[in-house]
Amino acid sequence: MIRRGKLVYAEPYFTPGLPLLLEQKVRTEVGLGDLVVVRPGRGRSRVERVLGSAARIETVLEGLLVESGRRREFEPYALPSPPTEDRVDLRDLVTFTIDPETAEDFDDAISVHQEEQGVRVWVHIADVSAYLPSGVPLDYGAAERAFSTYVPGNVAPMLPPELSEDACSLRPSQDRLCVTTEVLLDGEYRRGEPRFYRSLIRSNDRLSYGQVERILSGKESAEPELLAALELTDRVSSALRRRRFARGALRIERPELEFAFDDEGGVARAWFQTEPRAHALVEDLMILANEAVAELLSERGREALYRVHERPDPQSLVSLIDKLTKLEVPTPPAPEEGSFAPQEAEQLAAQIAAAVNDYVSRAGRGREAFPTLVLRALKQARYDPRNLGHSGLSSSAYCHFTSPIRRYPDVVCHRALLRELGLSDDAPAADLEALAEHTSAVEREASKIEFQADEICLAWLLDRRQRIEGPDERFTGEIIGLIGAGLFARFGEVFEGFLPARRLGGDYFELDPLGTALEGRRGGRLRLGDEIEVEVERIERHSGKVELRRAGSERRRKSATPTSSGRRDRHGGRGPQSAIPRTNHSEH
């Protein structure tokens, strides 16, 4: 809120717009500089809710959830008390959950046991459908929300906290209702016939990714039983992953961005997670369960929502190879024109991804730019009532089953499985095709919001760093995206910004036909993956936009045009196009 003379206005925070004149009797608890929710009126507008000071990052992120429509009131519901009889009692198993440090909604838990025939694995998933009957108002609301939306330090949940963080959350030392997938892996880690049933579990330990990473690397001690279980799970995970890559799954590593906050409402630091072993441990077992459920439903022709990732378009792969070749990245040769079968396209995509992964690991060049090029050449994963396979995982059948607290498609698959097992009479959704389109669209929108939240947090952190280090700090960055108007750069390890082409200086730059370089008329060239020295020109904390200038160039007194986002539109599109595990809507 701002004051102009005796009048008080609410000025739009996230997007440009005209200030709204507020009613004269603004509530006393509203202060200038507060972030508020306003209902526009014909004359004066009304303050409906006070979020708090816009000088605090948690207030801004809550405002983003509200403005985007992701923060909604829940429908009326009564918390049921489902019976526990007729469930398989697994409370004697050594069971644990692994989640981010700040997580409250624990969807999945794991148990493993070494046997003479191999390793028996239990993947326990919260039995949300036991608390959420089909067709009740909360069920319709959950389907409309479709996903929980996560921003740093906050979440707009799909289900009320009484369910998402309590009754359905697999908390340690508490009895919880689950749907369990039990699988025996033989000595070669080949999957036997899976079993599915409703169960009763009691988690022994709530572990974080960092904690698991420290335990497995010997930096932190653990109870002997837990240590043995984690080491066995790690061996199983590694074997499953090797088998998946051997059959042609894509291999592109994209670490997650994480934040820490201070006590004064600011962003203290940001970093990319460094627990790949712990993340893989969970991911591989969840993929195992998701494939097992999808195969059963598909083989029996049951109605469900499948997670599909169609095979890449051959021409997109040819174009990708042309781009990587021009960027001097070794790639497998493209098949001759006219001999490109769908199976060959899938295999070629996996080979390209592996080659790029090996190159950036070895050369240290293009760590962000080159994997993104590969992802942009692939089709986007989505939901569909038909089983069309999952190219990225090289799976003949795949669904989302392991996160029903935060994804509605998982609830649909739970109900389908339980109907097939004769354990539920919940009716299937009336129009699965429409539901597939809706959940796919909501997933993309939620990802954009989460992306924007990261941008805002990074802008706050960069602004803080500029105040400490000074505005002329120089960074060595990587060119991670190009458009005709300029380039996007990653710098300072986590920050991203836009450098307009007109401000590169010394030449007139244009985007080459393949979109891999800005080429100057006087011979200058700036390619994807190249290093570039930059300084920060301007930061917009409210939008997360950062504008850069080339290091050593003169700072402008005033920006003449709006800045461009550092983490959107970097390749002429908007938002992430990831087709493999990423963030909170990952493939597992």
Q: What is the pLDDT along the chain (588 residues), one digit of tens a residue?
A: 687 777 888 888 998 888 888 887 766 667 888 899 988 888 888 888 899 999 999 999 999 999 999 999 999 999 999 999 999 999 999 999 999 988 999 999 999 999 999 999 999 999 999 999 999 999 999 999 999 999 999 999 999 999 999 999 999 999 999 999 999 999 999 999 999 999 999 999 999 999 999 999 999 999 999 999 999 999 999 999 999 999 999 988 778 899 999 999 999 999 998 778 899 999 999 999 999 999 999 999 998 999 999 999 999 999 999 999 999 999 998 777 656 777 889 999 999 999 999 999 999 899 999 999 999 999 999 999 999 999 999 999 999 999 999 999 999 999 999 999 999 988 888 899 999 999 999 999 999 999 999 999 999 999 999 999 998 899 999 999 999 999 999 999 999 999 999 888 878 899 999 999 999 998 889 999 999 999 999 999 999 999 999 998 777 644 433 344 444 333 333 233 333 333 343 566
The CATH number of 447-588 is 2.40.50.140
Q: How many C-beta neighbours within 10 Å does residue 420 have?
A: 17
- Which run of H or E residues covers position 60? helix 57-67
Kindly report, residue by residue over 363-386, the tens digit of the pLDDT: 989 999 999 999 999 999 999 999
Quote the distance between the C-alpha of residue 338 and its chain's center. Answer: 37
Cβ neighbours for 541, distance < 8 A, ≥ 6 positions apart: 456, 459, 460, 463
Distance between CA 539 and CA 545 in Å, rounded? 6
Cβ neighbours for 276, distance < 8 A, ≥ 6 positions apart: 253, 255
b/e 351-384 (16+ beta carbons within 10 angstroms → b): bbbbbbbebbeeeebbbbbbbbbbbbbbbbbbbb
Q: Which residues pair with 163 in a beta bridge?
A: none
- Confidence (pTM): 0.91
Distance between CA 239 and CA 134 in Å, rounded? 38
Write out the E strands in 203-348.
205-208, 257-261, 267-272, 306-308
Please choose, from the candidates 250, 249, 247, 253, the residue with its C-alpha nearest in 3D space to the C-alpha of residue 277: 253
> What three-state secondary structure class fits 507?
coil
What tokens appear for 138 in the block?
């909360």
What tokens appear for 537 in the block?
């020109």
Helices (H) and strands (E) in the chain, counts: 11, 26
Distance between CA 287 and CA 215 in Å, rounded? 23
Kindly report, residue by residue over 393-442, the tens digit of the pLDDT: 999 999 999 999 999 999 999 999 999 999 998 888 889 999 999 999 99
Say which residue the tokens 């080659």 belong to.
Answer: 355
CA angle 256, 578, 434 (to 5 degrees): 120
Domain ranges of the chain: 2-54, 88-225+254-310+380-429, 314-376, 447-588
Distance between CA 427 and CA 129 in Å, rounded? 12
Q: Which residues pair with 476 in a beta bridge?
A: 533
Distance between CA 206 and CA 134 in Å, rounded? 30
Task: Please say whether the beta carbons of 481 and 571 come within 8 A.
Answer: yes
